[in-house]
Each structure stands twice: as structure tokens, then as C-alpha cells.
Chains A and B, each alone.
Chain A
Amino acid sequence: MKTEVQIIEHDVLVIGAGGAGLRAAIEASATGARVGLVCKSLLGKAHTVMAEGGMAASLGNVDDRDNWRVHFADTMRGGQYLNNPLMAEFHAKEAPARVNELEAWGAVFDRTKDGRILQRNFGGHRYPRLAHVGDRTGLEMIRTLQDHGIHQGIDVHMECTVVEILKEGGRVCGAFAYDRERGRFRVFKAPAIVIATGGIGRAFKITSNSWEYTGDGQALAYRAGAELMDMEFVQFHPTGMVWPPSVRGILVTEGVRGEGGVLRNKDGRRFMFDDIPENYKSSTADNEEEGWSYTQGDKNSRRPPELLTRDHVARCIVREIKAGRGSPHGGVFLDISWIKERLKNAPEHIKKKLPSMYHQFKQLAGLDITTEPMEVGPTTHYVMGGVRVDPTTQMSRVAGLFAAGESAAGLHGANRLGGNSLSDLLVFGKRAGEYAAKYAKEQKALAVNESQVEELVRKTLEPFERSGTAGAENAFVVQAALQEMMQELVGIVRTDAEMRRAIEGLKVLRQRAKKVSVEGHREFNPGWHTALELENLLTVAEAVTICALERQESRGAHFRDDFPKKSDTWSTFNLGIERGGDGEMKLSRVPLPPMTDEHKKIIAEMA
């Protein structure tokens, strides 16, 4: 019997309604294109809503020495020069306009004394650069885009999951999806598709990421013939909650450290002073006094070592824990309450600056951060890698397939600076929307291959057919096994032997995934959704592992115990992943794009 499939036509289909997807949809529809926007959750619930600290843009409102050149240099240095320099340039140049545009659409940022957008300090940024709203900047951003977007005639398809990209003659022609509510199938016909599906954090056990982060976009693009890049670079945020167990991994914003919070081990020592990397020595405070002045806006002070890049802070924390100097539940202490020694109204100040952190700890851990230190430890947070795209248009090597936001690679290189994601979403979301619409106008609609759709329907329903068969697996159990394994073998500190075990483990998990069965009906069935996402999770886990095994050095977020130093041999290319003719993953070395003379000059000046 033929299953019914609903067919919907758009000029541009945007997959994902986080910051990147919304911004892309707004831009594309502003050009007159008919835009469809699909997302797995309800509108406004995407991951972007959780972002806390702020978005980086060199507005120069707090320190007028800031400008795009400094932001560019900071981004490149943070990414250990594996970034795409042109993307870093566009990002640094265009971020201020994108932030101001949000204000024009109704966003209400915190203000400076003279009434402009306030900016805060963050790790790796030379000047206070993050436009923010307390510690709920992502909410402000997503709501502003959402509320602006709903008046633009964008067709939003909520709670709808894309399972496969459809192609015809090497070009994109649509996407196959199902809706969660009824489990009915849909084909979105569109000559241009923007992937804006976010990250892959659910490949690991301890993560700040939600259930949505199963690497769908990366895997969809990979299967459609696009190249993935930089997948070894997974950012472990240094400060996630560690206690109680059920909240392990939930993010504690870097804003806590930006506001003066300090890291201590169980002996009360501020261990971050013990290990300041050479290339950051000149810009880092060497005493507590100077660090504090910096957080309070003293322009002549250098930053406290707590605000060094995330990869470094995370490893210092791991070192303390491994050396037995950790906190009772296997983390270290993060203390903001100490600022009462310096500020009269400290508790009020903390609640005003970090309201959701205050609530989060109060409600979930029964702890008052204005009087007690928190316990924190690293948590999987962000993937620098993703779909390889053209820096100007955001198109992948598949005609008509674009990517933006966390699902795309290039801007952040080996390590992303805090705050550079939200600005990334706006800058490259806009570009992707603009160029996707332009591309769509130049194309004629393509027919969708019916037998391919029927095959997809069959594959998608397969898990139901295995229900009750011998040796059937539970999707949640297989997913948890994958997460455990990746956390243990391909986590913050990596070695050759462990990653080889992971490669073997992934083969076994792939076999298990083939046997996953699903009970019940198609309506809003989480077991079924988890089963369908397994394939994607396995794909990105494999890509991460293969790249991490290949890169025999330590750089940015990628740390190898067996190759603990950065090496020049590895500084001239990124690692690419594509699907080979035999269906196996193929690894390649992608030479770094050249820097312009201006790029070189800026970097030499700022070093």
C-alpha cells in the first residue's frame, strides 16, 4: 500500500529555527522568496534560546579601542589559525550591524551609562565585546527574530524532522520529513536548502546540549555529498554543573567569570595562575588584584587567567581533578560570592547580573551562589566543525545546499571564543538566506523522484516492523551506549589506543542500531524519533573519531595525551570528511585558504 506523503513547495527551505535558521529565513523572505522553515521543536525553543553570556561585536561602546581588526585577530588566535580567514573577516566586520539590527527589531539589551548597548568581557576577547541581556541573551535573540519573522510570511513547520535531503542530477530538489504530532510524511520541494540544525553534543554523555543536538544537519549534508570539516574540534566548556547527578552537564555561563568569579581547587588555590600559556602571558594578569580590576572595567588591567580560552581552562580543571585536588563531587569550585569582599551590595549585584544562574543553582542544586561557591566541571558544548561552505555564500559543494550557524564549519577553527557563536548565527545566517534566495531564483524547480521517496518511507517505518523480533534493541539504550563510549574514549583528553577502540566500538553500535525496534504508534513517539536519529549520531561520532585520530598534535579544543604539543606540520590544513564511493568515510587534508596581506598585517600587529 502506498503511504500518503504531503507535498509542500517553497523557493527556499530552511532546516532549523535557531538564530541561524531564523535569520536566514528572514533574509530570504525579504527578497520575495517563498520560504519554509522547519524545526524539530516548537518555534522559539531551539538551542539558541539557552545561550547566556552574549554576542560578540566590536561596537566599541564600552572601550572605543575596539574595532573589527581586533575582533578578527582575537578570533583567529582563539581558533589557532585554522579558521577560514575570510569568514573571520566577514564576521568581525558585519557583527556590529547585525546586532544593531536586532535592536531595530525590538531587542532590549542592557545599557551603558550613556544609553548605548552594554558590552561585557569574555574569554579570549581583548575588550569588553559581548552585547548581552543579563545571562539570557539567547532568549532575547531568538524571541526578537521569531517575533520579527512571524510578520514576514514565512511558512513555519514546527515539530517536523527532516530525515533526508533529496537530489536530482547533482542538485538539491527537496527534503523528506515527518511531523512529530502524527508521524505523517512530508516532502518539501525546494531548489535551495539552508541547513541550520546546530550541533552534535548528544554524541557525548556529559553535555550542555538538548535532545535536538544529534548532528542531523551534518549527517544530512554528508549523505547528500557535502564535505564535513574540522570535526575533531569539539568544544568542552570548562564550567558545567556537576551536582546533583541529574543536572550534570548543564551550563554555567562564562559570564560568571566575566563578572569576577574565580576558580579554586579544594585547597582554596586559584590554580589558573599556575599555568598561563606563553602566547597569552603578556595579556593576562599575574595577580588577583589586577584580575579583579579588569573585571570591573579597568582598561589598564589585564584579564584574570580564568578568562583564558575555554580549551585551556577546561584542561586545567581536568588536571586539578585528576591530581586529587577537586571538589567533593568531582569538579572544582567556582566562586562569585567572594566579591562581597569588594562590593557593598554584592548579593544584589550578582542576582542582577546573573539572574538565571542564581535561579538555576537555587532551584536545581539548592545552593545560593551569592553565599557559596559552585561546583563545576567540563561539559560538551559546541562543535567547531561542520559542513564545509563557501565563505561568501555559505553554499556547500552540493549545488543548492547551504549551511550556517553551528552546523557549518570555518569561522572558529580549532576553538570558538565565547560569544562568537551568536554573532556567527546572525552574520552567516543572513548571508546564507541572501544567497540561497538568489540561487533559487536562478533555478527551475526539479521533480522529486517518487521511488526514492517510497524507499525513504519504507526505511523510516522499518523500526516498527522489528517490534517483537528476537534480538531487538531499544533506541535509548543504544544511544546511551554511544554517549558513554564517546565520552570515555574521544573526550577532552584523547589517545591513539582509546580512539582505535572507539572506531571498533562504533562498528558494533552500528550493527546494534540496525536492530532497533519501536513499540506503539507514530504519534509523538520519542522512541521512534530516537531510533531515527541514531544514524546521524553515529555518523558524526565516526567523523569526530576519525579526524581526532588523524590529527597527531594538540591544538585548540583537540588535546592528545600522546601528542601534547602543537606542531607546525599540522598547521597548514584542515581535515575533511566525505562519503566515498563505497559508502565508507573518506578522510582528506584540505589546504588552509590563503590569508590576504591585510590579514597577515593585522595578525602581525596584534600578536
Chain B
Amino acid sequence: MAKATFRITRGGKDGLKPVDYTTEVGEGMVVLDAVHQIQAESAPDLAVRWNCKAGKCGSCSAEVNGMPKLMCMTRLTDLNLDEPVTIEPMRAFPVIRDLVTDVSWNFEVKKRIKKFKPRAPDAPDGTWRMSQVDVDRVQEFRKCIECFLCQDVCHVLRDHHKHDEFIGPRFFVYTAALEMHPLDVEDRLGDLRKTDGLGYCNITKCCTKVCPENITITDNAIIPLKERVVDRFFDPLRALISKVTG
């Protein structure tokens, strides 16, 4: 069987350094398999998150050869194994240990977003009616597995560290899912403009490119949200009406 080398970032708050591990690679293997193999063979304390091994839980995010990826869905056959394959933790978040990063910020951000608030039920039995076409868009957003790869790649977080003023693409998708939910009656446009930092996004579409769920983050979520914000706050007539009606 062929062998390949993996250059894995090791360490924690005390410092990080790449360490090379060589292991055998077999048919159909993904990056996570190689990491597990290395764990079992020579580095039992190598820290890595994973759960489903099938691209469903969004736990195993890392940067493989510099690209934000789910390790369980990245096949070795798609990589050049003549060179060492680099596996690094996500860069937009602080490292806890090895490939594991502190993503708790994301959970805090979500708490701040106003929760779902449905209109009164449509039927006497307390249920609602929605047609499939009306929920298609929201279902696209709800495919999100919270891998935070989009957060990792977005320059506003990755390079400019605007974590305090910008909620990131994942939470624009989340907000869009709520705003476009046919039953929802809450209003989040003011927050989007003021506290969520929607304006920082300059539509580079990097987030859309890395999303393993193929959610069209920029075109379907961010741009429509931007349009709604513009309509509300920068349309002079609307602004006047809202002033009058309060």
C-alpha cells in the first residue's frame, strides 16, 4: 500500500508547530481517516473533533492544504499525496489544542439574534398552512450544519477580527432563515444594520465557495437581507412613513 505524509499542526496556547506523520493510505480514505489512523498508531493525544463521519454534523472543520474543509468529506484521492498534506485548525478562532478550536463565540452570537416568533395559527387545531414553494428557500438555509467554515474564510473575521461588530455569514444565513420564514413576524432588520454588521460584508462570495452544504450564502441570504435593509432605512419615502407612524 502507498504511504503519505501529513503535516499536522500540534500544540495549544503554549505555541503551535507542524509535525509530520507518515501513514499508509488505502482506497476511499478521507483526511479524517488518516488523522484517526495516526491517532491510533503514533499520536493518541492528537486532538480532533468529529462525530458523524458523513458530512452531517459539521464537527470536523479544518484547513486542508490551506482550504477550509470538512475532513470527513475530503478524499485523499483529491489531494496531491506526493507532497505532505497540511492539516491546520481553523484560523478565525483561537486554538484549544491541535486541530480543535474555540468556537464558543458562535454560540454566543446566536443567542443575541431574536428568536422565531410565529403568527397566530391558521387552523383551529393550532397548526399552520405553508406551501412547499414558500418554504424552499428557508429549507436551503436550514441545511446549515454549523461547521463554521464560512466564518473561518470570511476576511472580516479572519483578517480583520471584527468579532464584536460582525456576526458572520453563518448568522446571516440564520437570520435570513428566520426573516424569510413564512410564519415569522419578528423584525430583525434594525439589528442587522446596527449590531450585526451586515454592512461590513462586501460580497466577496468566499463563504459561498466553501460551504459544504452548497448554501448560496451570498446571493440567496446576504444580498436579499441587504436589499431589505436598504429598502427600510434608505428609501426616503419609507423612512418618512416610519417616522410618522413610529
What residues make up the interface of A, taking CB atoms closer than 8 Å to B?
A: 41-47, 49-50, 100, 103-106, 108, 110-111, 114-117, 133-134, 136, 139-140, 143, 147-148, 150-151, 156, 158, 181, 210-212, 243-247, 250-251, 356, 359-360, 363-366, 474-477, 480, 518-521, 523-528, 530
Assess whether B27 is in contact with A250, with CB atoms less than 8 Å apart.
Answer: no
Cβ-neighbour of A133 out of B47, B49, B139 (below 8 A): B139
Complex alpha-carbon distance, A244 and B28, angstroms: 5
In the complex, whether B67 has a CB less than 8 A from a CB of chain A is: no
Closest A residue, CB atoms, query B72: A364
Question: In the complex, what distance in Å separates the CA atom of A148 from the CA atom of B132?
Answer: 23
User: Given A475-B44, A523-B97, A212 and B132 touching (CB < 8 A)?
Assistant: no
**B191 smallest CB distance to A (angstroms):** 15
Query: Do residues B45 and A521 form an inter-chain contact, with CB atoms below 8 A?
Result: yes
* B81-131 with Cβ < 8 A to chain A: 96-98, 100, 102-104, 107, 110-111, 115-116, 118, 121, 126-131
Which 4 residue pairs of A and B lie closest in terms of their CB atoms, listed nearest first? A244-B28, A527-B44, A115-B129, A520-B45
| Known A50-B57, A106-B118, A364-B75; contact A41-B49, beta-carbon cutoff 8 A | yes
Binds A, one of B140-148, B160-168, B193-201, B233-241: B140-148
Is there contact, CB below 8 Å, between A212 and B51?
yes
* Residue contacts A-B, CB under 8 angstroms, 13 given: A42-B59, A49-B51, A49-B57, A50-B57, A108-B142, A110-B139, A115-B130, A139-B145, A158-B104, A246-B30, A359-B55, A523-B96, A526-B48
Question: Which among B110, B111, B138, B178 has the highest number of chain A CB atoms within 10 Å?
Answer: B110
Q: Is the contact region of chain B dominated by helix, strand, or loop, or is it mixed?
A: loop
Q: Which residues of A contact B33 (CB under 8 A)?
A: 246
Residues of B within 8 A of A115 (CB): 128-131
- Smallest Cβ-Cβ distance to A480: which chain B residue: B40
Interfacial residues of chain B within 148-206, with CB under 8 A of chain A in the complex = 178, 181, 183-184
Q: What is the interface size of chain B, counting residues whose CB is below 8 A from a CB of the partner?
A: 60
Whether B96 contacts A45 by the Cβ 8 Å rule is no
B132 contacts A110, C-beta separation under 8 Å: yes
With A151-B111, A244-B29, A363-B75 given, is the CB distance from A143 to B142 under 8 Å? Answer: yes
A46 neighbours in B (Cβ, 8 Å):
51
Residues in chain B near residue A356, CB distance under 8 A:
55-56
Chain B residues within 8 Å of A47, by CB: 51
Q: Is A45 in contact with B142, judged by CB distance below 8 angstroms? A: no
C-alpha gap A360/B55 in the complex (Å): 8
**Inter-chain contact B58/A524, CB cutoff 8 Å:** no
Q: Are B145 and A526 in contact (CB under 8 A)?
A: no
| Other-chain contact of A363, B29, B55, B100 (Cβ < 8 Å) | B55
Contacting pair B142 A210 (CB below 8 A): no
Chain A CB within 8 A of B4 CB: no
Residues of A within 8 A of B57 (CB): 41, 44-45, 49-50, 210
Of the candidates A148, A363, A474, the one having the most CB atoms from chain B within 10 angstroms of its own CB is A363
Is B226 close to A, CB under 8 A?
no
Q: Is the CB of A147 within 8 A of B135?
A: no
**A103-B127, A519-B45, A523-B97 known; A108 and B111 CB under 8 Å?**
no
User: Once the chains bind, are B30 and A526 in contact (CB under 8 Å)?
Assistant: no
B27 touches A245 (CB 8 A): yes
**Chain B contacts for A106, CB-based, 8 A:** 115-116, 118, 178, 181, 183-184
Tell which of B12, B44, B104, B184 touches A518, judged by Cβ atoms closer than 8 Å: B44
Q: Nearest Cβ distance between residue A537 and chain B, in whole angstroms? A: 16
How far, in whole Å, are A111 and B143 apart by their CA atoms in the complex?
16
Which residues of B, 2-19, contact A by the 8 Å Cβ criterion? Answer: 12
B22 proximal to A (CB < 8 A): no
Residue of A nearest to B33 (CB): A246
Q: List residues of chain A with CB within 8 A of the CB of B111.
A: 150-151
B46 sits at the interface (CB 8 A): yes
Is the beta-carbon distance between B142 and A476 smaller than 8 angstroms? no
B68 to chain A minimum Cβ distance, whole angstroms, is 16
List residues of chain A with CB within 8 A of the CB of B97: 181, 523-524
Q: Judge if B223 is at the interface, Cβ distance under 8 Å.
A: no
Residues on A with C-beta less than 8 A from B107 are 42-43, 150, 156, 158
Report A-chain residues with C-beta under 8 Å of the C-beta of B142: 108, 133, 139-140, 143
Q: Give every chain B residue within 8 A of A246 (Cβ-Cβ).
A: 26, 28-30, 33
- Docked CA distance A47–B110 (Å): 21
In the complex, what distance in Å separates the CA atom of A244 from the CA atom of B135? Answer: 36
**Residue pair B56, A524 in contact (C-beta under 8 Å):** no
Question: Could you tell me the distance between the alpha carbons of A148 and B111 in the complex, rounded to whole angstroms?
Answer: 10
Closest-CB distance, B206 to chain A (whole angstroms) = 21
Report the minimum CB–CB distance from A209 to chain B (whole Å): 9
Contact A363 B73 (CB under 8 A): yes
Which residues of B are found within 8 Å of A247, using beta-carbon distances?
28, 53-54
Question: What CA separation (Å) do A521 and B12 show in the bound complex?
Answer: 11
Contact status A476-B44, CB under 8 Å: yes
Besides A108-B181, A116-B129, 14 other A-B contacts (C-beta < 8 A): A45-B57, A104-B126, A106-B118, A108-B130, A108-B139, A136-B143, A151-B111, A245-B28, A250-B54, A251-B54, A480-B40, A518-B45, A523-B96, A525-B45
The verdict on B39 contacting chain A, using a C-beta distance below 8 Å, is yes
Residue of B whose beta carbon sits closest to that of A523 = B97
- The reply on B21 being an interface residue by CB < 8 A is no
Instruction: Name the one of B96, B103, B115, B184 contacting A524, with C-beta atoms under 8 angstroms.
Output: B96
Assess whether B51 is in contact with A111, with CB atoms less than 8 Å apart: no
Give every chain A residue within 8 A of B130 (Cβ-Cβ). Answer: 108, 111, 115
Q: Are B75 and A136 in contact (CB under 8 A)?
A: no
> How distant is B135 from chain A, measured CB to nearest CB, in Å?
5
Are A476 and B39 in contact, CB atoms less than 8 angstroms apart?
yes
Docked pose: A247 CA to B36 CA in angstroms = 13
Within B199-233, the residues touching A (CB, 8 Å) are: none
- Cα A245 to Cα B139 in complex, Å, equals 33
B244 within 8 A of partner (CB):
no
How far in angstroms is the closest Cβ of chain B from A348?
A: 14
A208 to B40, CA, bound (A): 20
Q: How far is the CB of B117 from chain A (nearest CB, A)?
A: 9
Q: Which residues of B contact A148 (CB under 8 A)?
A: 115-116
* Cβ–Cβ < 8 Å partners of A104 in chain B: 118, 121, 126
Within the complex, the shortest CB–CB distance from B230 to chain A, in Å, comes to 26
State the CA gap A212–B132 with chains docked (Å): 35
Q: Chain A residues with Cβ under 8 A from B138's Cβ?
A: 108
